[in-house]
Amino acid sequence: MNQKELKELIELVIEKGIAEFELERGDVKVRIKRAVNSAAQAPEIPTVIVQTAGPAAQETGAAPAPAAPQPPSPPSKQTAASADDRLHTVRSPIVGTFYESPSPGSPPFVKPGDVVELGQVLCIVEAMKLMNEIESDVAGEIVKRLVNNGQPIEYGQELFVIRPAK
């Protein structure tokens, strides 16, 4: 099991609201247990335990260690998923490279703390020289940026967390 598969697994577990999950495949045993805090605004923090025996150890040794909320790097879907329904997440509609500003050296479209309008451009995701303007689909305040400038991102990856205006 590689890091990507593990990440997808964690995302699935979060998405489906599964509290505890165990998988055994060959020499690899994965156990994901989510500490769901009922207090408002507490993010869901899954605990991931990867046990390996034999040759698979090297590969899975690089498993991401989800942690409490942290600065934008590294992108971690787990920390982004919020138990707080009031927070909104903007995702990428395409695979590509994330750009925070319209051209190299120019200021970013938005930064945490900014108040954005519905339809305001938040960033550009580029693939094969196709520049995709990602707009905000809510009006509100940017709480967090979840990816770094120049970083490759996957389809559906979370980019920004926004607290919608009341």
Partner 1 sequence: MPDLLMPDVLAPLLKGTIFTEHIHHYHKIGSTNTTAMEAAAAGAVEGTVFIAEQQSAGRGRGANTWHSEQSTGIYCSVILRPALPPSAVLVLTLATGLAVHAAVQQIDLHLTPDLKWPNDGLLHGKKFCGILTEMNAEATRVRYIVVGIGINVNHTTFPEELRPIATSLRLMTGAEWSRVELCAALLKSLDREYQSLLKQPDAHGSILRRFQERSSSVRGKDVYIEEHPELDGLTAGLDERGFLQIRTARGLETVLSGTVRFR
54, two tokens: 């034999």
> Could you tell me which stretch among 14-22, 27-35, 58-66, 91-99 binds partner 1 (CB under 8 A)?
91-99
What stretches of 44-139 adopt beta strand conformation (E)? 45-52, 88-91, 96-99, 115-116, 121-127, 130-135
Is 128 a binding residue for partner 1 by CB under 8 A? The answer is: yes
Residue from 132, 138, 148, 163 in contact with partner 1 (CB under 8 A)? 132
Largest CA distance in the chain: 54
Does the protein bind partner 1 through residue 4 (CB under 8 A)? no
Q: Please spell the DSSP secondary structure of 1-39, one letter per residue.
A: --HHHHHHHHHHHHHTT-SEEEEEETTEEEEEEEE---S
Q: Is 135 in the site for partner 1 (CB under 8 A)?
A: yes
Does residue 5 interact with partner 1 by CB under 8 A?
no
Rounded CA-CA distance 15/31 in Å is 16
Check residue 53 and report its DSSP letter.
-
* C-alpha to C-alpha distance for 35 and 15, rounded to whole angstroms: 14
Q: How far is the CB of 107 from partner 1 (least distance, A)?
A: 14
Interface region with partner 1, contact rule CB under 8 A, candidates 6-14, 58-66, 90-98, 109-117: 90-98
Interaction between residue 101 and partner 1 (CB under 8 A): no
Binding to partner 1 by residue 59, rule CB under 8 A?
Answer: no
Name the residues that contact partner 1, by CB under 8 A: 91, 93-97, 103-105, 126-133, 135, 137, 150, 152, 155-156
